Amino acid sequence: MKVTLSVIKADIGGYVGHSSVHPRLLEVAEDSLRKARDKGIILDYHVTRVGDDLQLIMTHTKGVENGEIHRLAWDTFVEATEEAKRLKLYGAGQDLLSDAFSGNIKGLGPGTAEMEFEERPSEPVIIFMADKTSPGAWNLPLYKIFADPFNTPGLVIDPKMHDGFIFEVLDVYEHKRIKFSMPEELYDILILIGATEHYIIKAVYRKTDKEIAAVSSTQRLSMMAGRYVGKDDPVLIVRAQSGFPAVGEILEPFAYPHLVAGWMRGSHFGPLMPVAFHEANPSRFDGPPRVIAAGFQIANGKLIGPRDLFDDPAFDEAKRNANKIADYIRSMGPFEPHRLGLKEMEYTTLPDVLKKLKDRFEELH
């Protein structure tokens, strides 16, 4: 059976500030998707959240980028936004950047990660969802999961994975994409994907049969309503086991919190902290950035789960280390590399300040 797994997310109002999602919004989304399932539009769904981002996880048989599914997500966000406005939640409707839906939700504000596959005899998948960061946050973990034998021994000792994987990388500024064959092109890919704000891994395929293994919510950046859209709090779907990396190989990179962009005002680097669902409420300095991992078994299109995969004391040390890294990097205040480079900050006063100082800059001879 061919199944499509669609994860569509948006921040349509924070509670309190940008720290979390109000339970009422989850109820509204739940009601909307339940109705859609009863009507047969989707096979199954799960509604969740990370930080201030509302996550709609859906299964169906309509393929990726399907207008009816995108409309369902859009209408659900619009309905939840009405509730957010009633409660005067913070930034109600902030990710709905268009007044009208026009067939595809991409570029309208919400983020999407979707994949279609023939359901295997057993189909474990992990959905990562992050807040206070951007899609480049997945580059390092995806590299480790699918190309680093120190992380994924299956690359060395599992005959089904030994040929390696194909990485599809987007140049989000030039609107181009390129595929790399790993591990042969390791040194070429790393010069690009090490630049996590520019070259972002969109998808990973198994080399032997081109089977889809992972897909992220990365999309080309487009200017909408005066700001770049598509840089926001990302999601990632990864298929596990039987010729794909094991669940533990997929989770392992998150045991070493790496620095990602997006903390405080989308303008600071901070450690990506792996947390249990109930801990995904970034409050300290509006962070630090969080990631949750929801595990599902898909059975005839039904979502069996989720299992809260970072709810494991084995990630306690990662959380402690993330806190230590957070303390350290916070001590740098407004200096790079805690603060992002001038061109990458989501907030800036640079044009105003330069304008004000214009006449005071003297030429050097």
In the bound state with ligand F6R, the residue whose beta carbon lies nearer, of 52 and 123, is 52
Beta bridge partners of 297: 124, 304
Q: Which does 245 bind (CB under 5 to 8 A by kind): ligand F6R, Mg ion, none?
A: none
Token pair for 222:
């487009």
CB 219, min distance to ligand F6R, A = 18
Can residue 231 be called a binding residue for ligand F6R (CB under 6 A)?
A: no
Give Cα 198 to chain centroid, integer Å.
16
Q: Considering 160, 179, 228, 324, which one is annotated as catalytic?
A: 228
CB 53 within 8 A of CB 131: yes
CB 345, min distance to ligand F6R, A = 11
Question: Where in 56-115 is the site for Mg ion (CB under 5 A)?
Answer: 91
CB 280 within 8 A of CB 290: yes
Among 1, 2, 16, 17, which residue sits at the site for ligand F6R (rule: CB under 6 A)? 17
Task: Kindly give, in sequence order, each residue whose CB lies less than 8 Å from that of residue 242, ignoring residues fewer than 6 positions away.
Answer: 120, 122, 160
Q: Which does 265 bind (CB under 5 to 8 A by kind): Mg ion, ligand F6R, none?
A: ligand F6R
CA distance linking residue 141 with residue 257, whole number of Å: 10
Beta bridge partners of 273: 290
- Which residue's CB atom is positioned nearest to ligand F6R? 286
Among 3, 5, 10, 11, which residue sits at the site for Mg ion (rule: CB under 5 A)? 11
Among 44, 114, 197, 233, which residue sits at the site for Mg ion (rule: CB under 5 A)? 233
Among 4, 6, 15, 18, which residue sits at the site for ligand F6R (rule: CB under 6 A)? 18
H-helix or E-strand containing 216?
Answer: strand 212-216
3-state SS, residue 118: strand
Question: Shortest CA distance to 255 belongs to which of 272, 280, 231, 234?
Answer: 272
CB 37 within 8 A of CB 45: yes
- Angle at the Cα of 219 from the Cα atoms of 217 and 222, rounded to 5 degrees: 140
Give Cα 330 to chain centroid, integer Å.
24
CB 53 within 8 A of CB 233: yes
In the bound state with ligand F6R, the residue whose beta carbon lies nearer, of 17 and 341, is 17
In the bound state with ligand F6R, the residue whose beta carbon lies nearer, of 136 and 253, is 136
CB 216, min distance to Mg ion, A = 16
Write a three-state SS string for 280-298. CCCCECCECCEEEEEEEEE
Site string for Mg ion, 129-168 (x = CB under 5 A): --x-------------------------------------
CB 156, min distance to ligand F6R, A = 40
In the bound state with ligand F6R, the residue whose beta carbon lies nearer, of 144 and 339, is 339
Number of residues that bind Mg ion (CB under 5 A): 9
Question: Where in 255-294 is the site for ligand F6R (CB under 6 A)?
Answer: 264-266, 286
Under DSSP, the state recorded for 177 is E
Q: Considering 9, 11, 132, 205, which one is annotated as catalytic?
A: 11
Question: Shortest CA distance to 117 belongs to which of 242, 294, 227, 220?
Answer: 242
In the bound state with Mg ion, the residue whose beta carbon lies nearer, of 161 and 291, is 291
Cβ–Cβ contacts within 10 Å for residue 279, how many? 15
In the bound state with ligand F6R, the residue whose beta carbon lies nearer, of 233 and 249, is 233
In the bound state with Mg ion, the residue whose beta carbon lies nearer, of 131 and 168, is 131
CA distance linking residue 223 with residue 228, whole number of Å: 5
Q: Which does 286 bind (CB under 5 to 8 A by kind): Mg ion, ligand F6R, none?
A: ligand F6R
CA distance linking residue 48 with residue 38, whole number of Å: 19
User: Is 11 one of the catalytic residues?
Assistant: yes
Residues at the interface with Mg ion (CB under 5 A): 11, 14, 18, 51-53, 91, 131, 233
Catalytic (active-site) positions: 11, 228, 231
Residues at the interface with ligand F6R (CB under 6 A): 17-18, 91, 132, 264-266, 286
